Amino acid sequence: MYEKSLLKEAAKIIQKENDIVVFTGAGSSTESGIADFRSEGGLWSRYDPSIYANYFYFLKDPTKFWEMHNDLVDILVKAEPNDIHLGVVALEKLGKVSAIITQNIDSLHQKAGSGSYSDIPIYELHGTYRKLECIECKNEYHFEEIETKNIQYPVCKCGGLIKPKVVLFGEALPAGVLDAAMNAAQNCDCFLMIGSSLLVSPANFLPPIAKQSGAKVIFINRDPTPMDDIADVFLKGNGGEILSEIISLL
C-alpha cells in the first residue's frame, strides 16, 4: 500500500508542472473490464499471438485474426472509461497535460473526453480498433462501416485485405507516432506513467528519455516494474483510486 506522504509528493509535483505527459498501459484498461492480453485469462491465453496476432500470418490467412478480433471487439465496444481516464481528463481541464501516450487500442481516452477540452495530442502507439485500412490501396474506414462478423474476413472494393489499424507482431509502429511520442517525453516537465509493466519495447524507452531530459517521473502501477529506480515517486495500487486521491490534493 502506498504511503500518504508519497501521494502528497506526487500531488506537489503535478501542482507545480504544467507540461505533463501521461503514459498509459494495459493496467489502465483492466479497470474497465479489458484484461491485460498477457495476464491469466487474457487474450493470449486463448489465442496464440504467433498465429492470431502475427502480421505475416494475417497476410496468408486473415480468418484467424478476425476470429480473435471479433471476440475482443465485443469487450472493447462495451467498455467504459474508468477513474484513470476520467482523472486524466480532470488534469487536462486544469491545463496540466501536454500529451497522452498510450499502449492501448481501446480509445477509452477519447471516449472519456480527452482531447475535447484542449488540442493535446493522443499518441496511440499500438493503433486503435476503431479505424481500419486496406493494406493495398490504403483506403481508411471507420469501425462502424465494416461488417466483420458474418463473413470470413472483410475485403476492400479494390480487392485488398482490410485490417484494423492496430499493430500486429512483425509490423512497425504507426509512422511518425513513436517519434512524436519520444519528442513529447523529451520535452515534458513531468512523465506520469499509469498501468504499464514497462516490458514492451519501444514503448518502454519513453520513461528513461523523460528522466534523462530532466523531467520528474511518477509511476502508478499495481506491480513493480524494471524501471522503478528512475521514478521520483512510485505509487503501488489501484490506478483510478490513486489518481483520484492525487487530484483531490491539488
* C-alpha–C-alpha distance, residues 219 and 193, integer Å: 5
Burial tier of 198 (Cβ tally within 10 Å: 0-12, 13-18, 19+):
buried
CA–CA separation, 222 vs 230, rounded Å?
A: 17
Tell me whether residue 85 is one of the annotated catalytic residues: no
Backbone angles phi, psi at 129, to 5 degrees: -75, -15
Number of Cα atoms under 13 Å in the Cβ half of residue 126: 20
Q: For 18, phi and psi rounded to 5 degrees?
A: -120, 15
In contact, 236 and 222? CB cutoff 8 Å: yes
- Distance between CA atoms of 114 and 89, rounded to whole angstroms? 5
Which of the following is catalytic: 69, 85, 126, 142? 126
Give the catalytic positions in this structure: 126
